[in-house]
Amino acid sequence: MKIVVIGGSGLIGSKLVQKLGAQGHQAVAASPNSGVNTLTGEGLAEVLKGAQVVVDVSNSPSFEEKAVMEFFKTSTGNLLKYEAAAGVGHHVALSVVGTERLSESGYIRAKIAQEKLIKESSIPYSIVHATQFFEFVKSIADEATEGNSVRLPHVLFQPIAADDVASAVARVAVGSPLNGTIEIGGPEQFRFDDLIRKGLSARNDPREVIADPHARYFGAELSERTLIPGDGAQLGEIRFADWLKRSASQPPNANLPSTAAATATKRA
Ligand SMILES: NC(=O)c1ccc[n+]([C@@H]2O[C@H](COP(=O)([O-])OP(=O)(O)OC[C@H]3O[C@@H](n4cnc5c(N)ncnc54)[C@H](OP(=O)(O)O)[C@@H]3O)[C@@H](O)[C@H]2O)c1
């Protein structure tokens, strides 16, 4: 199948393109880096020619409330319009577990708007809700930092490795459209503050992580199960401790293509 991966140069996108290619599909990475811009429509008609499936794993360069809303509304609207014209039969998008419980967050409101456009479009679709990626630990800590400490609530947390996310999204992309949402999460549950503490300590990051029930996660107050997937969720295989060991033994960004490495370096 010809499968176009929007955001194919990113953390998940680059792994997805590689996995789909290894399965014998024609996986095409599409992003501004390769002349395809979903905000302007540039390159879309060309890249979607003959595509059966489009997977959208793009992300907004800015998480500022207005910018991120503009990104997901405009890019998704353009993408769906060009997909309809090209006769694409399956639109797959990656979103976040618990969007419906996290609407206090401007970023999540933009993801909800993205999902609404997809559900209202004429194109058969599948939405994958993932929990937070292991690779996102530092960004979460940065967002929650006040002075030299990181404040996070002691709620349940079930993060997943980007590799497991890409495998799950690849399975969905080659399957029939669900016209619905599936959830994926990591194989183990932690406490939010405990996991971020472990992640920072493994990087020799000196910040102290303080459990604070009212600390917000990207603008949203959390309760015990806000970030946790439901009972039917598909679980990844990679354990956080093993992922940490593996990451420590590799040079920074060793497994990333150049643009994803640049993004990760920005995050780091
Ligand atoms: N982080 C988490 O814990 C988490 C959890 C659940 C779901 N998600 C979702 O996972 C998705 C992927 O995240 P990620 O971390 O893999 O993203 P990422 O590494 O930041 O990559 C973003 C991608 O978006 C592309 N992009 C940016 N502007 C674009 C545009 N105008 N047109 C087309 N492509 C554009 C970038 O292309 P260039 O390289 O060419 O700029 C890049 O390929 C996001 O939608 C996010 O909401 C994340």
Give 181-236 pLDDT, tens digit per residue.
999 999 999 999 999 999 999 999 999 999 999 999 999 999 999 999 999 999 99
- Output the pTM of the full model: 0.94
Q: Environment class of residue 227 by beta-carbon count within 10 Å: exposed (0-12), middle (13-18) or buried (19+)?
A: buried
With vertex at residue 53, the alpha carbon angle to CA 161 and CA 93, rounded to the nearest 5 degrees, is: 45
Rounded Cα gap, residues 66 and 190, in angstroms:
32
Cα–Cα nearest to 136, from 120, 160, 156, 153: 160
- What pLDDT digit, counting tens, does each position of 103-134 carry? 999 999 999 999 999 999 999 999 999 999 99
What's the rounded Cα separation, in Å, for the pair 186 and 159?
Answer: 5
53 lines ligand 1 (CB under 6 A): no
Contact 199, 152 (CB under 8 A): no
Among 42, 40, 35, 45, CA closest to 9: 35
Atom of ligand 1 at shortest range from CA of 14? 43
Q: What is the four-CA torsion angle of 199, 256, 12, 139, rounded to 10 degrees?
A: 30
For ligand 1, atom 11: residue with the closest CA: 57
**Ligand 1 centroid distance, CA of 7 (Å):** 6
211 three-class SS? strand
CA distance 128 to 125: 10
Phi, psi of 204 (to 5 degrees): 60, 35
> pLDDT-derived band of residue 75, with 50, 70 and 90 as boundaries?
very high
Q: Can you give the C-alpha Rg of the chain in angstroms?
A: 18
Q: Which residue's CA is the closest to the ligand 1 atom numbered 5?
A: 132
Percent of the chain with pLDDT over 90: 92
Q: Report the atom number in ligand 1 closest to the C-alpha of 139.
A: 1
Supply 64's token pair.
């500022």
